[in-house]
Chain A
Amino acid sequence: MVHFPKPAEGSWTEHYPGLGTGPVSYKDSYDPDYWQQEIDAIFKKEWLCVGRVERLGRAGSYFTREFPWAKRSILVVKDRQGAVRAFYNVCRHRGNKLVWDDYPNEETSGVCRQLTCKYHGWRYDLDGSLAFIQQESEFFDVDKDSLGLVPVACDVWEGFIFVNLDPEPQQTLAEALAPLADGLAGYPFGEMTQTYEVRSEIDSNWKLFIDAFVEFYHAPVLHQRQAAAEEAEKLAGFGFEGLHYELFSPHSMVSSWGGMSPPKDPSMVKPIENLLRSGLFGPWDKPAAVNDNQDLPPLLNPSKHRAWGIDSFVLWPNFMILFWETGWYLTYSYWPLGPSKHLFESTLNFAPPQNASQRAAQEFAFSTFKEYAFQDANTLEATQTMIESEVVDTFMLNDQEILCRHHHAAVREQVKAGGRPASYPWMPGTANGA
């Protein structure tokens, strides 16, 4: 039964002719050769989000990011002018990793005046230039100006820091994020600085977790027992239908209803949710940052439905932002560690709480998020092992799973092109489009 209108073609999927409706091979999610092609054509070519500017408080603040899939370590630093810069984390002298603590393979952060190599004491200014060589006169033909840290392309969108390993990126960050760069600009990200950040190594291909988070078809079933019993039964009978799906290939989004924050009837939710006024959709009471800013960015709540609850955006290739109607946002990042392994990172971002009740409501939202994530993550490992068995070689995707179909297709197009393709066969108005 259709509760929310679909496009004139009869389905979200057929709205994009060329995307297909048939069964889909998941060989792209375990084949080692394909995984390497993804690294080369996608992860080494695209702008990748490495964190928020709030992590870099003052000049000299820095953090490192490990990219084992590229055998690279990235150093992100705020320079004296306040600009965010990124460098490869390697000393020009003899290749020691420049910044690390205790364990060279672990990420670190801190504040410094200069970046000093702990091996022989070479020092670099915050703009990456080589400032000091220990016993410089012992060296031959030194040209310090040519021995700065090797830069990595770095840019900031709405406070999110992105790097690009391509020495000459195909596109600027704004071009790469279009039309989301403008369509999501203006959201009060910078006011939501109360952050929980978690990570987990998951024994599945990176795309499988994106699949799990871009469809809600699974929610009434896998997460059934999270809801109050009567409500769960109703939800399972109802199933899931999105309010709206849209492809901005290679980006995409799904808009979903909410309506439980606060619920119409207290018996719809668990007892503690009524006391803490919080749940999966976040604290029930909106922060001032969102109350005062009722003009949401143009791409949010595209159907303008009064039951709107959440929009999930995939920012190509491995970053998601989820906007909750209740006034907070969630991010997911998926870093490939191998054909059957990835690092999952998530942040929950709230406006700073004004009192203990608000603080407790946020804590409960985090606790609830984590219960769901555990169920999702473990299911992925069960899926990964079975697609690898190759007992079944193609799988069924329904209309509510259009973003799964799309993400795999967009990966395929980019692998084929060896970089961001000029167009996508299913996108109207592009060279190959219908």
Chain B
Amino acid sequence: MSDTATLPADFADLEPFVDWALDTWRERYDKRLDSTMAEMQAFYDAMMPRLAEILKYCDSFDLDDLPDDARNLLLLTFSMCEASFPVEAWRQPRVPDSGSADLEMVREPPL
């Protein structure tokens, strides 16, 4: 997350969830594992109705030159990629039966 800006004014309702604006996949996945289902459900419920608007807003900028607040919105969207699985499929933070399985991210596209 950027230090200066949080979210664009039109998306101020999502400010309570700005701690999900995390730079790397590892951080986003760890936050998912460390969250309760109630926390993830609240994040999901707040984000779902806004996702289409978020993408439309972020698409109005050059992807390589996103303002910090738009970048945070997109990072929230990336965290939704993680949070959606527990909410929509698993009813628990971890993938069922995944035990000790883990992945090391060697390289990921920067944002």
Which residues does A use to contact B, with CB under 8 Å? 194-200, 225-226, 270-272, 275-276, 345, 353-357, 359-360, 362-364, 366-367, 370-371, 373-375, 377-379, 381
Contact = CB atoms under 8 A, between A and B. Distances in A.
Contact of A357 (B48, B55, B66, B89): B55
Interface string B23-44: 0010000000000000000000
Contact of B74 (A196, A272, A359): A359
B84 A270 contact: yes
B104 interface: yes
Contacts of A270: 84, 88-89
A225 B81 contact: no
A360 B77 contact: yes
Given A225-B89, A356-B61, A375-B98, A276 B108 contact: no
The 5 nearest A-B residue pairs measured at CB: A356-B58, A374-B98, A367-B81, A272-B84, A197-B106
A357 B58 CA distance: 8
A224 B101 CA distance: 19
A317 B99 CA distance: 29
Contact of B48 (A272, A354, A360): A272
Contacts of A359: 63, 74, 109, 111
From A271, A345, A359, name the one whose CB has the most chain B CB atoms within 10 angstroms: A359
A233 B22 CA distance: 36
B55 A371 contact: no
Contacts, number: 111
Interface of B: 25, 48, 51-52, 55, 58-59, 61, 63, 66, 70, 74, 77-78, 80-82, 84-85, 88-90, 95-109, 111
Contact of B90 (A225, A354, A367): A225
Given A197-B106, A272-B88, A275-B51, A378 B101 contact: yes
Contacts of B106: 197-199, 345
Given A366-B25, A374-B101, 11 more contacts: A197-B106, A198-B106, A199-B104, A200-B103, A275-B52, A345-B106, A356-B55, A356-B58, A356-B74, A367-B85, A371-B89
